[in-house]
Amino acid sequence: MHFRPWAAAALLLLSVPAWADDRSGAKSQVEFGIKVAQSGLWKEARYRWEKAVELDPTYAQAWNNLAIAYEHEGKFDEARKAYEKALELDPKNLLIRQNYDLFKEINDRTQKRRGDR
């Protein structure tokens, strides 16, 4: 009976470095993505942010950046999903909210145009 809490603690200790590794790997992908996006290499940036969310699906900032990359490529459905994921993970982040609001404004206009066709 006494073994179980110890086992759980050991398991937790072992899993923390793995989680930390995922986040640090994702973080370096995000940082590199930002650098290349600033140089205008959006495809490379998107690839990096896709990698980041693959490594750490709970990384709200990476989802936000990925949404921006999709938006820049005109992939509105993917962008919306990525923004919504970012907001789901970090609902109080005002910068993500602001990006999403700006995106929605353009997206709504596009939807209206499609409706007009």
Partner 1 sequence: MIAPRNAAAIASLAVLCGSLACTNFYEIPIETPIQPKMDVSSFNRVLVAGFIGGGTDDVDANLETVRLLRSQLRSKSNLRVIEAEVLPLVDMARDQSKPQAVPTDAAPAGSDAPAPVPALAAPGETAKPAETAKPDEARIRGEKDLERYQGIFADVAFWKKIGEEYQNPLIVTGTVLFTPYQSNSFVTRNVESYDSLGRRIVTPVRTYMERRGFILSPNFIFIDGRTGTQLHSEKMREEILYTSQQNVPALSSYFELMDRMIPSFLSTLSTQRIRGTRVLLK
Q: Which chain residues interact with partner 1 by CB under 8 A?
A: 27, 30-31, 33-34, 37-38, 60-61, 64-65, 68, 71-74, 93, 95-96, 98-99, 102-103, 106, 109-110, 113, 116-117
Encoded tokens for 15: 């899993």
| Residue 35 beta carbon to partner 1: minimum distance, rounded to whole angstroms | 10
The total of other beta-carbon atoms located within 10 Å of residue 47's CB is 16
Pick 8 or 20: Cβ nearer partner 1:
20
In the bound state with partner 1, the residue whose beta carbon lies nearer, of 55 and 68, is 68
For 57-71, letters b (16+ CB in 10 Å) and e give eebbbbbbbbbbbbb
